Structure 1
Amino acid sequence: MNNTLTRTLDFLMAFFGLIITFPILLIVSVIGYFDTGSPIFVQQRVGKNKKPFNLIKFRTMTVDTKSVASHLANSASITGLGKFLRKSKIDELPQLINVLKGEMSFVGPRPNLFNQEELINERSSRNVYSVLPGITGLAQVNNIDMSSPKLLAETDQEMIKSITVKNYFKYIIQTATGSGSGDAVNH
């Protein structure tokens, strides 16, 4: 799949996605304000060519939660609203802004934190950072998260090599219909 086609699909779907989901974004922002006082969560992540960018999500954990990978976070930090947002994947909707800005794609490797050195090394050795990070991808629909750095990097590499228009839409549809559980948290 070429970059121009991917970018065109990403832009159009993010643009129309933001228009269609605007009422949901507004409602969740208001409810989130009463839940945590700060409904939007912005965190610096590793982007294409290891360039930093600010990932935008709805906040699902308390404001004082330590900035670590989801699999290292304690589930006790997840708020009541956060549980619903994670399960429904609504917490990911603000990333449409990242896609619209060209910092992310709908399909690509999930962007990691800069302190995830083992994952950065595994992904670097497989040229995973040569593409835009994504909202979803092959690893996500197969329940492979950042707690398995080598397997995740291998799966990301496989996805990058085999991405087609069909797979692009397949991963999006699988994610929207509930395949994959997202990044796990410690219980």
Structure 2
Amino acid sequence: MTELPEPAEAPPALGVVLDADRGSLPYALVHGEALVACAAWALGEAGVLPLDLGTPWSVVQEAEEPLVLHDALCPMTPPGYLAECVARAVAEDTVVVGVRPVTDTVKHVEGEQVGATVDRAGLLALASPVVLPASVVAALPGWPGTDLVAVVGELATRFPVASVEAPASARRVADLDDLAVLEALTSPGG
């Protein structure tokens, strides 16, 4: 049996787990642990130094390191994937965004009429992380925000952005039903 190589070690990086403006869901349990705790552990295992959103932006900029924005609603994102995203952001000096393919049926709606089905081939769902290379951190006037869709939209107007497909375990949960699916997906032997 061929052994897979270990993922490349990520360069030094700072990171935050985003739990603000997400209701109480970040404190629900997956495999007996709060989502926010699982996300924080993944950051640590990826070699990312955790910060608090209360850290002054000037301190973040002075570190001259990439910044990882990790959503608590993507609690089972593998540490190796986080490290790969950091390494790519540094190597390419680009914002790296974790995404998942859209699998739901999407329809056009005009007024109250449901119209044609949208081709999902070009659609992506934001996952986690969003990694800002040090050059982007240096160029921003302050913390980029906690709404990752808005953050990515704003960053894309000023900086290069690369989408990287995230593994299924990195999927975002929107409610307890999604959380039950994620827990089943990530159960040992599941």
**TM-score normalized by the length of structure 1:** 0.30
More helix, by proportion: 1
Q: Which has the larger radius of gyration?
A: 2
**TM-score normalized by the length of structure 2:** 0.30
More strand, by proportion: 2
